[in-house]
Amino acid sequence: MIRSHVLVCGGTGCTASGCKNVIAAFETAIKDNNLENEIKLVTTGCHGLCSIGPIVVIYPDAVFYAKVTPNDVGEIVREHLMKGRPVKRFVYDEALHGKTALSLNDTPFYRNQTRIALKNCGIIDPEDIEEYITADGYQALGKVLTEMKPEEVIDVIKDSGLRGRGGAGFSTGRKWELAATPVSDKKYVCCNADEGDPGAFMDRAVLESDPHSVIEAMIIAGYAIGSDEGYIYVRAEYPIAVNRLEIAISQARKMGFLGKDIFGSGFNFDITIRLGAGAFVCGEETALMTSIEGKRGEPRSRPPYPANKGLFGQPTILNNVETYANIAQIILNGADWFKSIGTEKSNGTKVFALGGKITNTGLVEIPMGTTLRKIVEEIGGGVPNGKKFKAAQTGGPSGGCIPASLADTPIDYDNLIAIGSMMGSGGLIVMDEDTCMVDIAKFFLDFTVDESCGKCVPCRIGTKRMYELLEKITSGNGEMEDLDKLEALGNHIKNASLCGLGQTAPNPVLSTIRYFRNEYEEHIKDKKCSAGVCKNLLKYIILEDKCVGCTACAKVCPTGAISGEVKKTHVIDQTKCIKCGACQQKCRFDAIIKK
């Protein structure tokens, strides 16, 4: 009889941290101690707290072990699994509160979340369909096919207020309704799992942890609009997600959830996986469909919209992974339940990938309307190393930078747009006082320039001109009129670009000019970067009162820019200095500063 379950995170983050070796160590230790009939070892998907992997959680105790190594496993098996005594020195230490958290729910990271899309993540084996079924899996599909008409399904999704979690936040139910209306012999259901935003990994984590939730939702969507075929477009750089999707689809077919006459209802539906090559523009719905068709991934003019003429010219719906991950729960629990979470116009929860200058890097799901401050300071554990929170970027290259002064803004679709950002797919990058906001704007714009498909002039040429202006400013050659040019160009690109990616490309620049104009002016007028990031505006200086003349800095300088006699103050020739920082790193007396 199984008395304990050992759950080891097998998501991408923990895999990179060595979870496979931890799993192998548990297998050996369980076998060596003859515990095969008492202990079940389960490889799960992402638990969310990626910064402290590999993660091991032991149930029914819900004891949460962090940064587990193969060498730790033997002691955990002997002490915890055999003697019932958790090994506290391996347990996740919630240092901010001065206590050791044995259970997940004891930690601010988890107790402040409401999990719907991530309901099964880190809880079930994603490669075992029976575990998904045990967690109410495919019950929503059974209810839909045996008790509901297609229009009733659409009404429930509309009434729930679920908005697309992939970017613009369009009503999911309304999208399904528009695709259900046209009369056609063929319709398609598509899933956008491309997820190209820097720092975003929400969709990847759901596919790695709970692939059946997406499959079930796509079947329900197919029934609602009258489609018998679906496509999941997932980037090839997600090998674990792709593998688990393939396993899940195969298992669903064997169980009769995919294929002909599902639940004896006469309804047919099947799913095909299409691998993307990593083009950012293929996250745009029409470019994604063009890529599925085997053509170059470029956006199409709209109208006609995909609901009327989408994939292969047929009526099509496209939702992203997180949107689909909400569907089954809405069907089972009802529209009113979903509307009770979040805000009036932004119902439910939102999954964010927390990254950047934050203590708890990872995946979180919070009710819409949660403030940025709560996400950063409580769930995220605050900014490390005693630094001050400066800004957060939401929506990736399509979003904007939110300053710390707006940290109490409730995070939902409308509030983010009002302050110059957007929800996007859910990347949330935190920046501290050492971040140069001009450089951040240049980083995101550089990404957009590189990823532009080139089909329309405003995006192809306009973003390049904006980037050149930012290069000019960060190199110390900027002029005040460059700010006017950036704003004018940005607004032209927003209004004239063909697709949503081009239309939102200027957001990082426009939002940083709006909230951090003083930094732009400092770069232009004072030829200075206070954050010490823009190399051409930096100076490394040796302090006379601290330099002991040890010559260590001169020895590591690659250009011979540092001179001075032994035991005497050294100096840096600014005309030779390439701002590499090697001298500062080598100095043991804090005698070298950058200004």
d(CA 577, CA 209): 50
pLDDT at res. 100: 62
Whether the Cβ atoms of residue 246 and residue 173 lie closer than 8 Å to each other: no
- The structure tokens 């190209």 sit at 196
Backbone φ, ψ for residue 594 (5° rounding): -115, 140
Cα dist. 289→19, 239, 284, 286, 554 in Å?
36, 21, 9, 5, 58
pLDDT tens digit sequence for 197-235: 888 899 999 999 999 999 999 999 999 999 999 999 999
Q: Residue 9's Cα: distance from chain center in Å?
A: 18
How many residues are present in the chain? 595
Cis-peptide, bond into residue 304, ω within 30° of zero: yes
The predicted structure's pLDDT at residue 97? 44
pLDDT at 53 over 70: yes
Cis peptide before 303 (omega within 30 of 0): yes
Element (H, E) at 83: none
Looking up tokens 């820019």, which residue turns up? 561
Q: What value does the mean pLDDT take over residues 148-159?
A: 98
Structure tokens at 399: 């979003």
Q: Which sign, positive or negative, has the C-alpha torsion 584, 587, 589, 591?
A: negative
Contact by Cβ (8 Å): 215, 258: yes
Q: How confident is the model at residue 128 (pLDDT cuts 50, 70, 90)?
A: very high
Look up residue 181 and give its amino acid: T
In this model, does residue 96 exceed pLDDT 80? no
Q: How confident is the model at residue 426 (pLDDT cuts 50, 70, 90)?
A: confident
The span from the CA of 424 to the CA of 399, in Å, is 7
The tens digit of pLDDT for each residue in 331-377 reads: 999 999 999 999 999 999 999 999 999 999 999 999 999 999 999 99
Please write the tens of the pLDDT for every residue from 270-283: 999 999 988 889 99
Which pairing describes strands 592-594 and 56-59: parallel, antiparallel, or unpaired? unpaired
Give pTM, 2 decimals: 0.92
Q: Which residues pair with 275 in a beta bridge?
A: 234
What separation, in Å, do the N-terminal and C-terminal C-alpha atoms of the chain show? 66
Label residues 537-571 b or e (16+ Cβ within 10 Å = b): bbebbbeeeebebbebbbeebeeebbebeeeeebe
Residue 95 has pLDDT above 80, yes or no: no
Mean pLDDT score across all residues of the chain: 94
36: tokens are: 């095969």
Q: Report which of 63, 56, 67, 66 is spatially closest to residue 29, judged by C-alpha positions.
A: 56
d(CA 370, CA 375): 7
Tokens 């956008």 identify what position? Answer: 192
pLDDT score, position 333: 98
| Backbone φ/ψ region at 5: left (φ over 0), alpha (ψ -120 to 50), beta | beta
Question: CA–CA separation, 511 vs 419, rounded Å?
Answer: 8
Kindly tell me the sign of the dihedral angle through the C-alpha atoms of 96, 99, 104, 106: negative
Instruction: Please give the Cα distance from 203 to 117 (Å, whole number).
Output: 10
Asked if the model's pLDDT at residue 160 lies above 50, the reply is yes
Of 44, 126, 58, the C-alpha closest to 92 is: 58
Give the 3-state DSSP-derived string for 151-176, with helices as H, strands as E and coil as C.
Answer: HHHHHHHHHHCCECCCCCCCEHHHHH
Name the nearest CA neighbour of 4 among 83, 71, 75, 66.
83
For residue 31, what are the contacts with CB-CB under 8 A and spacing of at least 6?
none
- Our CA dihedral for 310, 312, 313, 317, rounded to 10 degrees, sits at -20
Work out whether the CA dihedral 302, 305, 309, 310 comes out positive or negative: positive
Nearest to 287 by CA among 240, 233, 206: 233
CA distance 329 to 365: 15
**Amino acid identity, position 573:** D
- Percent pLDDT > 70 in the chain is 98
The arithmetic mean of pLDDT across residues 223-248, rounded, is: 97
Is the bond into 299 cis (omega within 30 degrees of 0)? no
Per-residue pLDDT tens digits for 433-478: 999 999 999 999 999 999 999 999 999 999 999 999 999 999 999 9
Which strand (E) or helix (H) includes residue 144? helix 139-147
Distances from the Cα of 566 to the Cαs of 541, 570, 574, in angstroms? 18, 9, 21
Side chain identity at residue 302, one-letter code:
R
Which region among 33-37, 510-514, 537-541 has the lowest average model confidence (pLDDT)? Answer: 537-541
Beta-ladder partners of 593: 541
Any idea which residue has 């003429």 for tokens? 309
Q: How many CA atoms lie within 13 A of 343 on its CB side?
A: 16
Nearest to 351 by CA among 486, 146, 197: 197
